[in-house]
Amino acid sequence: MEVIKPTITADTFNAICRQNTISRADIVKLSSITPYTLVEKISNLKNEELKEVYMLEEKNIFKLTNTILIMLGKHSHSETFVQQVLNDGLMWEIRQGILSNNSLSASAKTATTLKMATKYVLAIEEGGNISQTHNGLLKPVFDGKIPKKMFSFRQTDAEEWYENYVNFVVDTAFLILAKGELSTQSLDNAFLFTALNTAYYLNKSQTFKYYRKSTDKDLEDALFRIVTEFTHSQGSDFTTIKNTPTKILYKDL
C-alpha cells in the first residue's frame, strides 16, 4: 500500500492552468496535485481519534464532490436546484455583480457564477445562515466536531483545512469549465478532475483504505475504482462519470 505520486510538479500544474485550452490528458495530470490532508493539519491524534477524524474527512469531501456533481448538471434535479440557489438572497447579489462585469465573456460569467454558487451552497450553515470570513468571502462549513484536546485549536484547524481544500478543488474544476466555454466536454472534464483528484487525495490521506491494487489495469483504472468505492461507502454511485455525455443546462443564466 503506497501513496500514488503526483505525475507533475506544482509549477507544471500552474502552467497548465494558464493554457488557453485544457485537454483530457491535462485533466489527468492536474488531478494528481492535491492540497494538504486533514490529518496533516491536525497533529498528535490518538488511534481512536484518527478513526473519527477520517470519517469526518470523508463526510466533508463527499459533500463537496456531490455539490459539484449537482452544479455541473449531473443530477436529475440539478436544474431546479441550481436556479433556486442562484435566486437565493446573497447569491443573487453575487450573481448580479458577476453579470455586470463587462470584462468577462458570457461563458466566463456563467462559469464564475456556477463556481460561486457551489461555494455558496457549501457555506450554508445548519440554521440557514451563510458562513463568511472576516473579509466577507464565502466560507465552507465543516460538518462535525473534531475530538477536543486541551490547549489546541483542532476545530479551527479542520475548518481551515476544509476552506483550503474546497477552494482548491472548486477553483480548478470551474477554471476547466471556463476554459472549455461550457461545452459538453468541459462539463465532463470539470467533474473528471473532481473525481480523480478526490481519488488522489484519499490515497494520500487514507492509504491504508484507498490504495492501488494488483488487479487494477492501470493508474486511471485504480483512481476510478478508488473514487467509486468511496462514493459507494457514502451511499451514492458515480460510476457513470467516466463516459457520460452531459447536457448543458445553464448556458444562459
Summarize pLDDT for 66-82 with one digit per residue, the tens: 999 999 988 777 888 99
Cα–Cα dist 82/65, whole Å: 15
Looking at residue 97, its amino acid is G
Average pLDDT of the chain is: 90
Cα–Cα dist 247/200, whole Å: 27
The answer to whether residue 54 is domain-embedded is yes
For residue 132, give the 3-state DSSP assignment: strand
> What is the pTM assigned to this prediction?
0.91
The answer to whether residue 76 is domain-embedded is yes
Task: Please report which confidence band the pLDDT of residue 127 belongs to, taking 50, 70 and 90 as the band edges.
Answer: confident
For the residues 136-152, what does the mean pLDDT come to? 92
The answer to whether residue 163 is domain-embedded is yes
Name the residue among 245, 227, 223 with its Cα closest to residue 237: 227
Task: Please report which confidence band the pLDDT of residue 112 belongs to, taking 50, 70 and 90 as the band edges.
Answer: very high
Range of the domain at 196: 10-241
For residue 4, give the 3-state DSSP assignment: coil
Strand partners, 138: 132
Query: What is the distance in angstroms between the CA of the first residue and the CA of the last residue of the chain?
Result: 46
For residue 138, give the 3-state DSSP assignment: strand
For residue 124, give the 3-state DSSP assignment: strand
pLDDT at 52: 96
pLDDT at 237: 60
Q: What is the gyration radius of the CA atoms in the chain, in angstroms? A: 18
DSSP calls for 92-105: HHHHHHHHT-TTS-
How many domains does the chain divide into? 1
Cα–Cα dist 37/198, whole Å: 11
The answer to whether residue 222 is domain-embedded is yes
The answer to whether residue 1 is domain-embedded is no
The answer to whether residue 152 is domain-embedded is yes
pLDDT at residue 252 above 50?
no
pLDDT in tens, 157-184: 999 999 999 999 999 999 999 999 888 8
The answer to whether residue 247 is domain-embedded is no
Cα–Cα dist 242/194, whole Å: 12
Looking at residue 82, its amino acid is V
For residue 171, give the 3-state DSSP assignment: helix
User: Rounded to 5 degrees, what angle do the CA atoms 167, 145, 64 make?
Assistant: 30
The answer to whether residue 105 is domain-embedded is yes
Looking at residue 110, its amino acid is T
